[in-house]
């Protein structure tokens, strides 16, 4: 199979310069667990030069049922970490904190969008997760089974995830914003037997009918035998006899004792689907020990978690950020994590800041797209709140523009809180490049330096190192514990997508440059993956959805820069001869995509064309389409068919 990439855009070499430097604030550094650049450098050097010893030592942060005998077996691209060891991540995230001093410590604080608040101590979490696991057991779930989870953000989704981990079942969380078709594909591909969902969820004052979407998906997925339904909204939903079960009724039948299954280090923990360039979404498989250690260690050092922190990552559990930094990372460290169900602008645009003050949040982790939205809504809404409990800020998901970074620093961090810009991916499992906040000076827009054990490099398409200041492809030269192990059911695709472009190295699909200080500046994807509001989408998925519409013959999706969302979605569409093109057809197609994939994939703009511009060899001229979408060099009128054949002829040489 062909590798999933293209070339480095030429704009990468002429990127902006940013000279501001922010050293770690002295007060922060004096209390941080890593408090000087020298300390970071020494640990980093050891993690690279003596990596087995480094990781063997760090792995003691986890509780093992059986110790491992080998740190790493590396047979490109197959890594096995901590072989011979057995452990359970639910035990590590819950049980070990539920005894002793942390038993009465708050593990989760949850706020629903309508305003109710619930919290659970580690002791309570321990009881609830065992009951939840027993419910799954009664449905026949056992080690190795795949369980789909399609829910909103609540303590119940955390319990669902951890209950799977407790039994050794492999969770496959599907973001609640995905449509029935997308859910069905993911459940079918991972051969799920059980689905956990809820009646509905609250979003911006509306109820999202999760159960009825799930019903539609399950109709198309005969392998799903049981559907477990959490009653969140008290909505009347049809329950299918023998297949559907109310969670609260099942919980009433079970005991609160359920031992944690000993898992081999390399036993799969979860499958999470993400978009690539070609084909359908990929089910990345993460395994137990390496993922657990990676998320635990990065949370500990990059968020500098301390015993009294209230930590809030605003991501949905349905994305990798939610897996690693809402659920596993904080709980493995015995931290207090806040969960919020709803939208940042409900009922007002200051909801987040209201939450920060009321719950005394000290660490806050969000996406640049959210920061840009707050900027647009106006600092006056932020200034109504004190935000005095905050001590550390983080960002993730897309490059942060220096303006947004400075605004975050000033308006949210009050020039007191370090900002950790964290670069990583679904595939990497845990954060790869980010400042250690008490040790590394930050520069607005740079993710700064690699985490321990991570060896990134910028290279040309041929794999040659690129000198400082120049753009190139970001690759990782060494295996790391939390790396994905394979694509579920498709090891060849795993090899082709990540390990064939630059042989022997992990190919990230991102462009980047490194400056004279060794800092990394991420420049966005070099392939056809879009990043819309920090959500990753494949152009192919949206194109397939469009061509499923009876009036569409061909479609090409490209991204265009968007001030708020990072990237907007533009669809170039050719239609069946004789079809009248007008605004209502454009609207119909936008709705169609939202219905097929989910609202997150809805195109911002539809451009009708007689034919898609293609090279002589038949490839769609995507670079040309990107240029056209970005410059608006099209008629700007959805009622006319564009003819790109002339401009395509002129550009053909560039694209071949
Ligand atoms: C992008 C999200 C710049 C990048 C954790 C990557 C970033 C993709 C950053 C992965 C960052 C993530 N700076 N770009 N700090 N963080 N990205 O799999 O293009 O949803 O390849 O994982 O998001 O998206 P994914």
**pLDDT band for position 143 (cuts 50, 70, 90):** very high
Could you tell me the distance, in angstroms and rounded to a whole number, from the CA of residue 431 to the centre of ligand 1?
A: 10
Residue whose CA lies nearest to ligand 1 atom number 8: 425
Could you tell me the distance, in angstroms and rounded to a whole number, from the CA of residue 562 to the centre of ligand 1?
A: 16
**Between the CA of residue 170 and those of 167, 284, 607, what are the distances in Å?**
9, 12, 42
Choosing from 450, 522, 527 the residue with most ligand 1 atoms within 8 A of its CB, the one to mutate for a pocket test is: 522
Question: Residue 66 carries which DSSP code?
Answer: B
Could you tell me the distance, in angstroms and rounded to a whole number, from the CA of residue 136 to the centre of ligand 1?
A: 33
Inter-axis angle of helices 122-138 and 155-167, to 10 degrees? 60
Number of other CB atoms surrounding residue 643 within 10 Å: 13
Q: Is the pLDDT of residue 5 over 70?
A: no
* pLDDT tens profile 177-218: 999 999 999 999 999 999 999 999 999 999 999 999 999 999
Cα dihedral across residues 513, 517, 518, 524: positive or negative: negative
Buried b (16+ CB within 10 A) or exposed e, 524-550: bbbbbbbbbbbbbbbbbbbbbbbeebe
Domain ranges for the chain: 72-82+116-287+309-343, 533-653
**pLDDT band for position 474 (cuts 50, 70, 90):** very high
Name the pTM for this structure. Answer: 0.94
> Which residues are documented as binding site for ATP?
397-399, 421-426, 510, 525, 536
- pLDDT of 483 reads 98
Could you tell me the distance, in angstroms and rounded to a whole number, from the CA of residue 303 to the centre of ligand 1?
A: 18
Q: Is the pLDDT of residue 299 over 70?
A: yes
Same fold across 72-82+116-287+309-343 and 533-653: no
**pLDDT band for position 277 (cuts 50, 70, 90):** confident
- pLDDT of 644 reads 75
**pLDDT band for position 655 (cuts 50, 70, 90):** low
Assigned CATH for 533-653: 3.30.300.30
Rounded Cα distance between 340 and 314, Å, is: 7
Question: Residue 59 carries which DSSP code?
Answer: G
Structure tokens at 220: 């198309």
Residues flanking ligand 1, CB < 6 Å: 274, 319-321, 396-399, 421-426, 447, 508-510, 522, 524-525, 531, 536
**What would the 3-class secondary structure string for 589-612 be?**
HHHHHHHHCEHHHCCCEEEEECCC
> Which residues are documented as binding site for CoA?
203-206, 321, 345, 533
Choosing from 174, 371, 425 the residue with most ligand 1 atoms within 8 A of its CB, the one to mutate for a pocket test is: 425
Question: Could you tell me which residues come within 8 angstroms of residue 158 by beta carbon, excluding any fewer than 6 positions away?
Answer: 108, 317, 326, 327, 331, 339
Could you tell me the distance, in angstroms and rounded to a whole number, from the CA of residue 423 to the centre of ligand 1?
A: 6
Could you tell me the distance, in angstroms and rounded to a whole number, from the CA of residue 219 to the centre of ligand 1?
A: 34
* pLDDT tens profile 234-246: 999 999 999 999 9
Percentage of residues of the chain with pLDDT beyond 70: 94
- Average pLDDT in the 102-121 region? 98
Q: Is the pLDDT of residue 259 over 50?
A: yes
* pLDDT tens profile 66-91: 999 999 999 999 999 999 999 999 99
Choosing from 294, 370, 398, 431 the residue with most ligand 1 atoms within 8 A of its CB, the one to mutate for a pocket test is: 398
- pLDDT of 635 reads 53
User: Looking at 8-22, 152-166, 508-522, which range is the least confident one?
Assistant: 8-22
Number of other CB atoms surrounding residue 99 within 10 Å: 11
For ligand 1, what atom is nearest to the CA of residue 525?
Answer: 19
Per DSSP, what are the bridge partners of residue 558? 570
Question: Residue 22 carries which DSSP code?
Answer: B
**pLDDT band for position 9 (cuts 50, 70, 90):** very low
Contact criterion met (CB below 8 Å) for 189 and 280: yes
Q: Residue 301 is inside which H or E element, if any?
A: helix 288-302
Q: Quote the Cα angle for 138-189-77, to 5°.
A: 110
Contact criterion met (CB below 8 Å) for 360 and 330: no
> Which residues are documented as binding site for Mg(2+)?
547, 549, 552
Nearest to 273 by CA among 283, 265, 264, 263: 283
- Residue with the bigger pLDDT between 456 and 613: it is 456
Rounded Cα distance between 218 and 223, Å, is: 8
Rounded Cα distance between 182 and 188, Å, is: 10
For ligand 1, what atom is nearest to the CA of residue 421?
Answer: 15
> Which residues are documented as binding site?
203-206, 321, 345, 397-399, 421-426, 510, 525, 533, 536, 547, 549, 552
Could you tell me the distance, in angstroms and rounded to a whole number, from the CA of residue 527 to the centre of ligand 1?
A: 13
Rounded Cα distance between 531 and 508, Å, is: 14
Could you tell me the distance, in angstroms and rounded to a whole number, from the CA of residue 262 to the centre of ligand 1?
A: 33
* Half-sphere exposure in the Cβ direction for 527 (13 Å, CA): 24
- Average pLDDT in the 45-74 region? 98
* pLDDT tens profile 478-496: 999 999 999 999 999 999 9
Question: Could you tell me which residues come within 8 angstroms of residue 343 by beta carbon, excluding any fewer than 6 positions away?
Answer: 113, 203, 204, 351
Strands (E), 76-189: 78-83, 86-87, 106-111, 117-121, 146-150, 170-173
**pLDDT band for position 11 (cuts 50, 70, 90):** very low
Residue whose CA lies nearest to ligand 1 atom number 10: 425
Assigned CATH for 72-82+116-287+309-343: 3.40.50.12780
Per DSSP, what are the bridge partners of residue 475? 457, 507
**Between the CA of residue 323 and those of 160, 189, 263, 315, what are the distances in Å?**
12, 20, 19, 9
Rounded Cα distance between 180 and 220, Å, is: 9
Q: Is the pLDDT of residue 2 over 60?
A: no
- Average pLDDT in the 358-371 region? 98
**pLDDT band for position 545 (cuts 50, 70, 90):** very high
Contact criterion met (CB below 8 Å) for 265 and 83: yes
Could you tell me the distance, in angstroms and rounded to a whole number, from the CA of residue 524 to the centre of ligand 1?
A: 8
**Between the CA of residue 101 and those of 105, 233, 335, what are the distances in Å?**
8, 35, 13
């Amino acid at each position: 199979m062909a590798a999933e990439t293209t070339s480095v855009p030429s704009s990468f070499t002429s990127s902006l310069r940013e000279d501001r430097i922010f050293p770690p604030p002295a007060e922060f550094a004096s209390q941080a667990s890593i408090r000087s650049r020298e300390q970071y450098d020494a640990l980093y050097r050891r993690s690279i030069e003596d990596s087995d010893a480094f990781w063997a030592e760090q792995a003691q942060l986890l509780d093992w049922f059986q110790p491992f005998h080998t740190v790493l077996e590396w047979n490109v691209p197959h890594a096995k970490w901590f072989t011979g060891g057995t452990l359970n991540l639910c035990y590590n995230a819950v049980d070990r904190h539920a005894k002793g001093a942390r038993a009465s410590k708050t593990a989760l604080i949850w706020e629903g969008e309508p305003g109710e608040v619930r919290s659970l101590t580690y002791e309570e979490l321990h009881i609830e997760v065992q009951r939840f696991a027993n419910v799954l057991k009664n449905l026949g779930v056992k080690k190795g089974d795949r369980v789909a989870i399609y829910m909103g953000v609540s303590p119940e989704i955390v319990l669902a995830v951890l209950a799977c981990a407790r039994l050794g079942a492999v969770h496959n969380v599907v973001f609640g914003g995905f449509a029935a078709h997308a859910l069905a594909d993911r459940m079918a591909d991972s051969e799920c037997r059980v689905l956990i969902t809820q009646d509905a969820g609250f979003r911006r004052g509306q109820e999202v009918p999760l159960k009825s979407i799930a019903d539609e998906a399950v109709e198309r997925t005969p392998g799903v035998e049981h559907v477990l339904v959490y009653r969140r909204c008290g909505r009347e939903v049809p329950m299918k006899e023998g297949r559907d079960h109310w969670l609260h009724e099942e919980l009433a039948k079970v005991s609160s004792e359920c031992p944690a299954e000993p898992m081999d280090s390399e036993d799969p923990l979860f499958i999470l689907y993400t978009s690539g360039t070609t084909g359908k979404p990929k089910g990345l498989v993460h395994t137990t020990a390496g993922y657990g250690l990676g998320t635990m260690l990065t949370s500990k050092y990059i968020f500098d978690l301390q015993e009294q922190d209230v930590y809030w990552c605003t991501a949905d559990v349905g994305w990798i950020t939610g897996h690693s930094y809402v659920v596993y990372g904080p709980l493995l460290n015995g931290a207090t994590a806040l969960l919020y169900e709803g939208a940042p602008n409900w009922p007002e645009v200051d909801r987040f800041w209201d939450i920060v003050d009321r719950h005394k949040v000290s660490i806050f982790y969000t996406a640049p797209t959210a920061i840009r939205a707050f900027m647009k809504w106006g600092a006056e809404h932020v200034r109504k709140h004190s935000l005095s409990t905050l001590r550390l800020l983080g960002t993730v998901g897309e490059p942060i523009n220096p303006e947004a970074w400075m605004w975050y620093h000033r308006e949210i961090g009050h020039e007191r809180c370090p900002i950790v810009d964290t670069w990583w991916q679904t595939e990497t499992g845990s954060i790869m490049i980010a400042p250690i906040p008490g040790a590394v000076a930050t520069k607005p827009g740079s993710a700064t330096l690699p985490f321990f054990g991570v060896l990134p490099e910028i290279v040309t398409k041929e794999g040659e190192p690129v000198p400082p200041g120049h753009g190139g492809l970001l690759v990782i030269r060494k295996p790391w514990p939390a790396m994905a192990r394979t694509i579920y059911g498709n090891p060849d695709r795993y090899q082709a997508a990540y390990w064939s472009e630059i042989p022997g190295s992990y190919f990230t699909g991102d462009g980047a440059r490194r400056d004279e200080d060794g800092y990394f500046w991420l420049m966005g994807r070099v392939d056809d993956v879009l990043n819309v509001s920090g959500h990753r989408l494949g152009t192919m998925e949206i194109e397939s959805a469009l061509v499923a519409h009876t009036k569409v013959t061909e479609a090409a999706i490209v991204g265009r820069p968007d001030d708020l969302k990072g990237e907007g979605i533009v669809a170039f569409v050719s239609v069946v001869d004789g079809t009248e093109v007008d605004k209502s057809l454009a609207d119909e197609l936008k709705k169609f995509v939202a219905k097929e994939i989910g609202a997150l994939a809805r195109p911002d703009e539809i451009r009708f064309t007689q034919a898609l511009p293609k090279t002589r060899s038949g490839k769609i001229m995507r670079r040309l389409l990107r240029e056209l979408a970005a410059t608006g060099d099209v008629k700007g009128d959805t009622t006319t068919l564009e003819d790109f054949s002339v401009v395509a002829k002129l550009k053909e040489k560039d694209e071949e």
